[in-house]
Amino acid sequence: MFAADLFRKIDLNARITFVKLASYQGISSSGSIKELIGWNEDLVNKRILVVEDIVDTGATLERTLMRLVIKECSLTLR
């Protein structure tokens, strides 16, 4: 719901896609990050807005950003 509301408010010619990662088992972190729904878009030379729903240790967000670098996207952090 948040992503849909955000998308309505910002003026961008863009598409929305989702990646689902999990690092928790129950109420505690497992220490590993599982990719439940993976990357299905060509992200090379695209501008990317990452919206994270829960930031705890930052490990999932860090993995996401590193994955974007590995995919050779033109990554600009703002």
* Residue 36 φ then ψ, to 5°: -85, -40
Round to whole Å and give the CA distance between 40 and 19: 9
Strand 28-37 versus strand 20-25 pairing type: antiparallel
Two structure tokens written together for 8: 């309505």
Q: Is 11 a catalytic residue?
A: no
Pick the catalytic residue: 5, 11, 53, 56? 56
The residues annotated as belonging to the active site are 56
